[in-house]
């Protein structure tokens, strides 16, 4: 069993300005509003603090969970026996660092990055305007929408390796795929990314962003806590369409519900637990497989509980 009191003492000694919280409810840090306490949570303000936190935890053989804004996470009701390193609260700088190039820290909201590109008259990030997450999470899962994805704009990523070293890796070595990158396993902490964009017309960029914003507001249940799309898009299909076809729109387990507005979303109607969500997901997967022959795979990252496969 990990000695988190020893870890806390070691972190305080090595990085006295590092904010550390004990038994921090993860429900406060996920868009699902679900999750029990993390044994320890560190909120580093600098790369040095993040590196120290990871290095010390590894040295003391304590598990480490790296997270951004928590918009794609489902955390166990029992909590996490680990050090959670969260960067989204403080690392949110966005700056122009080259010709049609933005350098964005991992905690910056993707919507802010899209706005910064628009202000410069640079195109390529319009698809990201309404994605509710941070740069770090978006790169990790190669987030995308409306025929755009992060792989199209990322030039390189600066990241913290499991041993605490800082590395910058070019895009061609990041193993981007559908909702996947080399960071998907959670072993590395993204610090920032260079985004390469193109010159464009500000009015046209704004119009496209406004259109994407309108579509999201009309079609997605943004008024409820959720983790966005629950399932990956099956080849040749739309997950929401298959779920709807099977009559599962509005299907409910405890406080978790297949959204009546968009069947690809699972929402927290109030008091939903991780167990509620996973039970619902298993049943949706079973019924869709029986009736359509299609396997649905979760897109949401699970922590402290087993991922669900059909």
Supply the residues annotated as catalytic: 179, 229, 299
End-to-end CA distance of the chain: 32
Closest CA to 75 of 302, 306, 310, 257: 302
Distance CA 34, CA 241 (A): 26
Q: Which residues pair with 148 in a beta bridge?
A: 145
How far is residue 59's CA from residue 14's CA, in Å, rounded to a whole number? Answer: 13
Classify burial at 233, counting beta carbons within 10 Å of its beta carbon; exposed 0-12, middle 13-18, buried 19 or more.
Answer: middle
Q: Closest Cα partner for 249 from 276, 215, 288?
A: 288
């Amino acid at each position: 069993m990990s000695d988190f009191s020893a870890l806390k003492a070691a972190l305080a000694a090595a990085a006295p300005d590092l904010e550390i919280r004990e038994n921090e409810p993860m429900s406060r840090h996920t868009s699902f509003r679900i999750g029990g306490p993390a044994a320890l949570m560190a909120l580093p303000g600098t790369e040095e603090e993040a590196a120290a936190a990871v290095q010390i935890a590894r040295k003391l053989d304590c598990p480490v969970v790296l997270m951004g804004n928590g918009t794609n996470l489902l955390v166990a009701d029992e909590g996490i026996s680990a050090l959670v390193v969260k960067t989204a609260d403080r690392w949110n700088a966005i700056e122009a660092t080259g010709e049609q190039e933005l350098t964005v820290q991992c905690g910056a909201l993707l919507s802010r990055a899209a706005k910064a590109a628009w202000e410069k008259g640079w195109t390529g990030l319009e698809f990201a305007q309404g994605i509710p997450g941070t740069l770090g999470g978006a790169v990790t899962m190669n987030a995308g929408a409306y025929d755009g994805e992060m792989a199209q704009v990322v030039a390189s990523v600066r990241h913290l390796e499991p041993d605490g070293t800082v590395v910058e890796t070019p895009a061609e070595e990041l193993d981007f795929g559908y909702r996947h990158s080399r960071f998907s396993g959670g072993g590395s902490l993204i610090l920032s990314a260079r985004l390469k964009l193109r010159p464009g017309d500000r009015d046209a960029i704004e119009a496209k962003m406004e259109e994407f914003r309108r579509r999201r507001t009309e079609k997605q249940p943004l008024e409820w806590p959720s983790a966005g799309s629950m399932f990956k898009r099956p080849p040749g299909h739309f997950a929401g369409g298959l779920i709807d076809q099977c009559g599962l729109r509005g299907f409910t387990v405890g406080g978790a519900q297949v959204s009546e507005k968009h069947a690809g979303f699972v929402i927290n109607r109030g008091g939903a637990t991780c167990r509620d969500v996973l039970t619902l997901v298993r049943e949706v997967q079973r019924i869709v497989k029986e009736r359509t022959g299609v396997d649905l795979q979760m897109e949401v990252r699970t922590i402290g509980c087993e991922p669900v496969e059909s």
